[in-house]
Amino acid sequence: MTSAAHDLGDVLPPEGRGAATLAGDAASRASAAGPDGGPTGATRAAGGPSRWGSWVLVLVVLATGIFELHNLDIYLHARTGQWIVENGQVPTTNVMSPLHGDHPTVQDKWLFQVGSHLVFDRWGANACILLRVVLMAVLFAVMASTARRLGASEGALVMFLVLAALAGRARFMFRPGLVSMVLLVVTVHFVLVRRPDGRRTWPLLLLQLLWANLHGYFILGPVAVLGVAAGRLFQRDGRIVAARLGLLVLALIAVCFVNPAGVDGVLHPVSILTDLREHYDFYSGAIVEFRGSFAPDVRHPLDQKAFFALGGAALVLLLWAGARELGRRRANTSEAGPNAGFGWALPGLVLLAGFGFMTVSLRRNMAPFVFVVAPLAAAAWTGLLGARTPGRVLPLLLAAALVAGEVTDATSVHDQLPRRTGWGLSQLAYPDEGIAFIGEQLPDARVYTAFRYGSSFTGRRWPAQAAATDGNTHGYPTSWLMQVMGAASGEDRLAFDRLCSRHELSVALVPMAEPLSVSLLARDDWTLVCLGRQEAVFVQRDAVPAEWLAEHDLEARLDAGQSLTLPDTPPRGHVLVWPRSWVPLAEIDQTLLLMAGGHDDAAFERCRDALAGAPDDANALGLCGLLAARLGRLDEARTLLERSLAEGVDGGLAKQVVERLDSL
């Protein structure tokens, strides 16, 4: 026998099984039979309730879920939740912004924001990590239950859910999107396998009510049910089930109106999509997750590759299973029940097509796609190729590779992400030194913040100070965000001056590697006063006292040949006896900024620090080679650049320098 609650008990760690066991006892009485009145899919496929895959999924959840908290919006969520608790209402304007406080906004995440305030502010980052692991355990438990109830073998289940874990890893953050993924797979499980006849679906109304107050992805609930209803139309006697599910769709939409913003809250996802459509070129160029899933990515990220592999396999398998089901119908076999044979494959094909279509224009939709189709692909694999395939070896190898890549940080380093295994707050994601410096030295200044730093700055400094721009992208006009991004990228060279002049901004907190930092270094009216791991703080010279500037002007110290004490990239650590993957991110960014400012000697010494920690890092080798060439150390430069090319760095500039050295 299988049930979602039993699967949850299997996948959760022992300390989290109490509630799941109680739920499983109650659910087992209602689900002793499969959806068509016969034995469950897992029993049919495997001959018994073998659950070795559950232990593998436990390891997958722990490996992919226990990493440092690096959600850039966590501080903004917590402060907004604090405002809601203190004021007893959900704001209708951007109350966190000093510049756009009157801009109307819909807080579609208000319930998650209150939860973030209660959990993060009271118990800290580790509590958020534990809660994330619990949510992920529920996510994988429900997917496993869906696959088993449709007949998937343990090997197929593990293989496809491991691919889903890799393809959807971008959603494994303590953000409302993770809660949406859980509610989505629960909805699909409920209408596809738990209640395939469309009866007694009222529990989904309660979940939808919760969802509508947690995240704008709540629209996916009615969309998923509508997809299953459309697929049922192709089945014998399926119109009755489709009609029931159609009524459920209307009821789910009606429930969504129970939110603080009312009609505006229901229409908020539509307004977001409309804005994305109108400004797609801008959003897709500025924010990675707003690009298409099939758009080329110079990083060649592993999640995109896993998405291609899983999506391609699911398409072939579900088309094959759907064809078998249509053939069964034409043969007029007597097997009854909505999910008899491959009856679930036709609704599955509609879900694959619908959620697949959403991935074309938005990469962030890869996760809902893989979490919906992975269980269906596993069931189709078993039904078409037999319960003995793929066996245990291949799924276990895939799971082992995934776990190893996560716990050693190799996957995150490959994808160039700040995510690192461990507990507590990330030391890479947040501009800690820059925010601390501003809070101590410039507590009353009006601050220009880069988009990626705004939420953290507001969350830590509010109400004394707040960022000019934060992660609430719909809390201010899109035209404002376009100006901020134009200033950061250097595309609009006057945008930064316009923003600072109009809003009296005299301090800038920006990433070192952005073109804006380089341009500020070249200006006489701004100067560098703080360097963090990857962030820089600049001030307008005329906005601070001369005595203060003389004490904190880093450019003057560099010009005088003085050395700077700079924070290092956090140490790599080990997993048992194996070193974790490590990239000298801070040292490289600091080197780039020093190099851009013409301080080649200081840059070269900092680059040597990077090589000391990562002797084979291609980027560090290339930077050191370029600096050595600028300093006239031609033999050393050639050696470093050739090593950089051998390590696989994109060699455009490095090759040109080597060729130039040859000509000399």
Q: How far apart are CA 372 and CA 369, in angstroms?
A: 5
Give the C-alpha separation, 176 to 269, whole Å: 14
Three-state secondary structure readout of 55-67? HHHHHHHHHHHCE
Confidence of residue 45 (pLDDT cuts 50, 70, 90): very low
Indicate the pLDDT class of residue 332, thresholds 50, 70 and 90.
low
User: Which stretch, 3-12, 107-116, 194-203, 592-601, has highest mean pLDDT?
Assistant: 107-116
d(CA 144, CA 11): 9
Name the residue among 618, 662, 663, 664 with its Cα closest to residue 641: 618
Look at residue 166 and tell me whether its pLDDT is greater than 90.
yes
Q: Quick one: how far is CA 456 from the chain centroid?
A: 17
Choice between 120 and 96, residue whose per-residue pLDDT is larger? 120
DSSP-based three-state secondary structure for 93 = strand
Altogether, the residues listed in the chain come to a count of: 664
Q: Is the pLDDT of residue 471 over 70?
A: yes
Average pLDDT over residues 606-626: 89
CA–CA distance from 47 to each of 33, 40, 141, 661 (Å)?
15, 10, 21, 70
**Residue 161 binned pLDDT confidence (cut-offs 50, 70, 90):** very high
Give pLDDT, residue 27.
37
pLDDT over threshold 50, residue 97 = yes
SS3 label, residue 287: coil
Q: What is the mean pLDDT of residues 545-568?
A: 91
Per residue in 300-313, pLDDT (tens digit) is 889 999 999 999 99
Residue 25: its pLDDT value, please? Answer: 37
Return the CA Rg of the chain: 27
Backbone angle region of 262, left / alpha / beta, with phi > 0 → left and psi within -120 to 50 → alpha: left
pLDDT given at position 157: 95
Q: What average pLDDT score do residues 332-353 get?
A: 77
**Which pLDDT score is estimated for 648?**
63
Amino acid at 598: G
pLDDT at 137: 97
Spatial separation of the C-alpha atoms in residues 92 and 107, rounded to whole Å: 7
pLDDT score of 617: 86
Q: pLDDT tier at 32 (50, 70, 90 boundaries)?
A: very low
Q: What is the mean pLDDT of the segment spanning 71-88? A: 93
Cβ atoms of 200 and 176 closer than 8 Å:
no
Q: What is the token pair recorded at 618? A: 């291609």
DSSP state of 25: H
> What is the pLDDT, as a whole number, of residue 576?
72
Query: Distance of alpha carbon 20 from its chain centroid, rounded?
Result: 27
Enclosing H/E stretch for 527: strand 526-531
Give me the mean pLDDT over the 318-323 stretch: 92
Top pLDDT among 196 and 456 is at 456
Of 326-340, 539-553, 602-616, 634-648, least confident by mean pLDDT is 326-340
Q: Is the pLDDT of residue 138 over 60?
A: yes
Distances (CA, A) of 588 to 171, 336, 410, 531, 534: 28, 64, 18, 13, 9
CA atoms of 333 and 340, how far apart (whole Å): 10
pLDDT tens by residue, 267-289: 999 998 898 888 888 888 878 88
Return d(Cα 270, Cα 157) in angstroms, integer.
35
> Would you say 155 and 392 are in contact if contact means Cβ atoms under 8 Å apart?
yes
When pLDDT is averaged across residues 102-128 and rounded to a whole number, the result is: 93
Return the pLDDT at 474.
80
Which of 63-67, 265-269, 470-474 is the least confident region?
A: 470-474
Residue 577, pLDDT > 90, answer: no
- The string of pLDDT tens digits covering residues 633-644 is 888 888 888 888
Name the pLDDT band for 336 (thresholds 50, 70, 90). low
Asked whether the predicted pLDDT for residue 317 surpasses 80, the reply is yes
The C-alpha atoms of residue 254 and residue 205 are separated, in whole angstroms, by: 9
Tell me the pLDDT tens digit for each residue of 4-14. Answer: 333 433 333 33
69 within 8 A of 125, measured Cβ to Cβ: yes
% residues pLDDT > 90 (the chain)? 53
- Angle separating helix axes 110-123 and 125-149, nearest 10 degrees: 130
Say which residue the tokens 């160039």 belong to.
416
Instruction: For residue 576, count CB atoms less than 10 angstroms from its CB and return exposed for 0-12, middle for 13-18, buried for 19 or more.
Output: exposed
- Position 3 scores a pLDDT of 39
Please give the pLDDT value at position 663: 55
- Residue 50 reports pLDDT greater than 90: no
What is the phi-psi region of residue 243: left when phi exceeds 0, alpha when psi lies from -120 to 50, beta otherwise?
A: alpha
DSSP string, 535-593: EEEEEEGGGS-HHHHHHH-HHHHHHTT-----PPPPP--EETTEEPP---HHHHHHHHH
Give the three-state DSSP class for 245: helix
Task: Tell which phi-psi region holds residue 133, choosing left (phi > 0), alpha (psi between -120 and 50) or beta.
Answer: alpha
Mean pLDDT, to the nearest integer, of 354-377? 94
User: Residue 630 CA to chain centroid, in angstroms?
Assistant: 40
* Mean pLDDT of the chain, nearest integer: 85
Question: Tell me, what's the pLDDT at 110?
Answer: 95
Look at residues 201, 189, 185, 211 and name the one whose alpha carbon lies nearest to residue 249.
Answer: 201
CB 122 within 8 A of CB 470: no
- pLDDT of res. 649: 54
444 C-beta neighbours (distance < 10 Å), count: 6
For tokens 């009856």, the residue is 343
| Torsion angles phi and psi, residue 104, rounded to 5 | -65, 140
